Each structure stands twice: as C-alpha cells, then as structure tokens.
C-alpha cells in the first residue's frame, strides 16, 4: 500500500516533465508536454507526467491562488453555512484545517490521515483553492464590526430570477484544476473536513476548454460559441492591482484584514440556448458586437483591436448597435469600471421541457464591487441585447482575504485579530 507521506508526484516519477507555460488570466493558456518514459515499481515502462499534471500553484502568497491564476479546465464552487452553535472558535479551527489541506493538495500531496486516493495517480494539475466570507459570516462569528462596507448586499436587478437556496452563504470555496479527479478530490476533502462546523448550502460544477485543445493559446469560448474574456484586465496593466485588489496599506475604506484581498461576485447565468441558436450568425454578432469566428469587433481588425463605437455603415446605422453587449460593458462606457472575469461554463442536464440547463458560472474579481460589477450590471440591466437570451438564477458576493503567509491560515488576521 502506498505511503501517504510521499507526494503523488514522487509516486509517479516526474523526471523529464516540463513546466506549464501559462498565459494571461481570462482563458488563454499555453502548454508543453513531455513523453519520456520512466520505469515503474514493477520494472515496466511508464510515461512521465506531462506538464498538465506537474504544474503547481503556490498556496502561500500576497494574494490567494485562483484569482490571477489562468482559468482551469474544471471548477467546483461550493458555499457553506456555519452550523447552529458554531461561532468564531469553530470557524477559526475550520479555516485552519482547510488551509492545511489546501496547501497539501495544491502541492500534489495526499490529505493527512485517511485520504480517499481519488487523485493518487495524478500530479497537482494546477489545482487552486480559494476561500471567501459571505455577509452572514460576520454575524455568526460576532465580527460585525469587521465586516467590510463593500460586502453590503448587491442591489436588485430587473433581470434577476434568483433562487435563494442557491445564493449567498457564510463561507465560499472556489476550486479549480486541469484534471477532473484532482478537482473532485479537493472538493470531497474540504466537504468532509467541514465536519460539524459547517453544512453545504449549495454547490455548482463548471468546466472550460482543456489546455492544449487548440493549436495555440486562445481566449476561451462560452456555450453560446462566443469568445469570452477579451480585454480582461491583465496583471501587466499599470492599474491592475488598484482595480482588482484591496490596497496593502489601509486607506480607511476596507478593514486591515482585507489587505491584499479582493471581492468575488458569483452569478449563475443560465443561457437560453434553444432561443439563441435560432438566430442567424449575423444576428448573434449584432447582439454581442463582435464577430463570432474570431472575436474581432464588428468594426474590423482582430480580437484585440479597439472597437470604433462611432463607425457607421449602410444607411448611416452604427456598425456596433447601441445595445450590443460589448459596447455596454466597455470600461470607458462605465466610468472606468473594470473587473477580472474568471468564469466556468456549466451544464446541469435538461429541464422538463427538454431545454438545456446550461450557461455560465460567472465569477468576477474587483477591489470594490460598487465600482466594478454593480455599475456595469446596472447598465446592462437597462438595455443589453443579450438580456433576452440569459437569466440570472443565483448570486453571491464574498470578501476574499489576502493570501496566507508562511505558517498562517486563510482568514487568520480576521479571526485572531
């Protein structure tokens, strides 16, 4: 029987495997693969792990993993409510357990104690685990005075059809990996370790294109067939940290424990695919404002070409319609509002009418949701052509603290401050 003190990577032997070359956040990721052979314990030949399996994301750092990490091919979102009677002490113990487990799993190591061995044969596979706190967490732990003002409930939007049982939550966990078994292993481990301290409120599963599925790194497509993630803020942008992360030095806006953290807005957006797919390609492009084939604006160029909002065509009509989704969501049309979109697609079967329950697990990150998500969504709510083909069915807003330093657990500065 395998010794669980040895990492999965050492069990497999990764000599000769190359590192994974990752692109900018928003769906672009390159890959490299190694196919050299190594001998297994029986004397036979076994191929070394490719870079897909060996890629490792660090748990400790200034920011939590899973924010600027390129989006993975498999994702799980899960929200918990603290159990009756559980408070600050229980929450601290839970975050300590979860952080220890997340660190091990992200390093490609089994869970301490009784591991399920679900991912025994795999490497880390770019696994990330990210933790956040919902509005109710602070009341349950007696920390209301430490609750950020930015965590106030989101306003109502006319397009909302929200299921409260699949919205909100005291604690939120985002899991991403480039291998489905590695991702599920983390989901199962964290759910088991919640024990009597917290119970699952809701859970959702998502997916994206796998690294290496395209001939070159490309921005991902959503289930409408549209390139989704163009012009996402990039870590190389001068104002990236200002837009996405809470300042390291307290400025009076956020509590000190949120330094280096971010706010995640989570929306389950169902796509009415049967209606969408009845549209001709040209009609779909007018709804979005971009060409379906390559993501370029209707005014010409490539995916990254600046959209010419005032350009007109035959009859003097605007080439990019006034209600086109890409026009409405541009930062320069929303007072500079920007957010880092990091979504997963989902498919949860078919409803009683035979229509697919499928769409987008929309996740966006920003330093302040009142300056990021809210103004853009309000504008979309007033006249986005895409609104006819989507339905917002669940929602959550979570304060995601900065990363844990060496020897710390996530949220320690809040829970022990």
Stated length of the chain: 417
* pLDDT over threshold 50, residue 54: yes
What contacts 86, CB < 8 A, 6 or more positions away?
Answer: 140, 196, 197, 198
Read off the tokens for 353.
């009418």
Contact 265, 364 (CB under 8 A): yes
> Can you say whether the dihedral through the CA atoms of 205, 208, 209, 210 is positive or negative?
negative
Q: CA 331 to CA 326: how far, in whole Å?
A: 10
Q: What is the mean pLDDT of the chain?
A: 89
* pLDDT over threshold 50, residue 226: yes
Strand partners, 270: 359, 391
Contact 189, 101 (CB under 8 A): yes
Active site residues: 228
* pLDDT over threshold 70, residue 31: no
- At 99, give phi and psi (nearest 5°): -65, -40
Banded model confidence at residue 6, pLDDT cuts 50, 70, 90: very low
pTM over 0.95: no
In DSSP notation, 160-219 reads B---GGGS--SEEEEEEESSHHHHHHHHHHHHHHHTTTEEEEEEEEEE-PPTTSSSS---
Banded model confidence at residue 37, pLDDT cuts 50, 70, 90: very low
pLDDT value of residue 43: 44
pLDDT value of residue 252: 79
pLDDT value of residue 47: 52
Banded model confidence at residue 52, pLDDT cuts 50, 70, 90: confident
Q: What is residue 153's three-state secondary structure?
A: coil
Q: What is residue 2's three-state secondary structure?
A: coil
Task: Kindly report, residue by residue over 270-291, the tens digit of the pLDDT.
Answer: 999 999 999 999 999 999 999 9
Angle at Cα 413 formed by Cα 249 and Cα 367, nearest 5°? Answer: 45
Residue 416: count other Cβ atoms within 10 Å of its Cβ. 12
Strand partners, 396: 266
Residue 33: count other Cβ atoms within 10 Å of its Cβ. 16
pLDDT value of residue 144: 97
Q: CA 286 to CA 274: how far, in whole Å?
A: 18
Ramachandran bin of 138, using left for φ above 0, alpha for ψ from -120 to 50, beta for the remaining angles: alpha
């Amino acid at each position: 029987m395998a010794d669980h003190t040895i990492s999965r990577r050492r069990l497999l032997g990764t000599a000769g495997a190359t590192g994974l070359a990752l692109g900018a956040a928003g769906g672009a990721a390159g890959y490299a693969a190694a196919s050299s052979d190594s001998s297994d314990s029986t004397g036979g030949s076994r191929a070394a792990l490719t870079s897909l399996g060996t890629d490792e994301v660090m748990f400790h750092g200034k920011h939590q993993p899973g924010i600027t990490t390129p989006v993975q091919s498999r994702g799980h979102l899960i929200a918990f409510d603290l159990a009756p009677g559980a408070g600050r002490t229980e929450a601290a113990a839970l975050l300590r357990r979860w952080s220890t487990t997340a660190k091990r799993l992200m390093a490609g190591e089994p869970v301490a104690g009784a591991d399920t061995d679900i991912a025994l044969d795999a490497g880390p596979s770019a696994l990330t685990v990210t933790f956040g706190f919902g509005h109710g967490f602070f009341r349950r732990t007696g920390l209301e005075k430490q609750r950020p003002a930015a965590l106030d409930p989101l306003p109502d939007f006319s397009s909302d059809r929200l299921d409260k049982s699949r919205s909100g939550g005291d604690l939120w966990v985002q899991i991403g990996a480039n291998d489905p078994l590695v991702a599920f292993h983390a989901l199962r481990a964290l759910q088991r370790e919640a024990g009597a301290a917290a119970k699952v409120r809701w859970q959702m599963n998502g997916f994206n294109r796998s690294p290496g599925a395209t001939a070159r790194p490309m921005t991902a497509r959503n289930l409408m067939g549209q390139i989704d993630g163009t012009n996402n803020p990039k870590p190389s942008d001068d104002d990236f940290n200002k837009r996405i992360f809470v300042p390291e030095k307290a400025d009076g806006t956020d509590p000190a424990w949120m330094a280096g953290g971010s706010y995640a807005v989570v929306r389950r957006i169902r796509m009415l695919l049967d209606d969408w797919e009845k549209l001709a390609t040209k009609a779909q492009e007018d709804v979005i404002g971009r060409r379906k084939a390559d993501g370029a604006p209707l005014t010409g160029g490539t995916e990254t070409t600046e959209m010419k909002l005032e350009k007109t065509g035959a009859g003097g009509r605007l080439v990019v319609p006034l209600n086109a989704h890409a026009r409405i969501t541009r930062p320069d049309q929303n007072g500079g509002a920007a957010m880092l979109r990091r979504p997963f697609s989902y498919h949860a079967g078919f409803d009683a009418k035979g229509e697919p329950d499928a769409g987008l697990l929309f996740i966006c990150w920003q330093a302040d949701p009142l300056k990021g998500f809210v103004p853009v969504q309000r504008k979309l709510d007033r006249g986005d052509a895409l609104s006819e083909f989507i339905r917002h069915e669940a929602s959550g807003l979570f304060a995601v603290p900065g990363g844990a330093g060496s020897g710390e657990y996530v949220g320690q500065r809040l829970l022990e401050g």
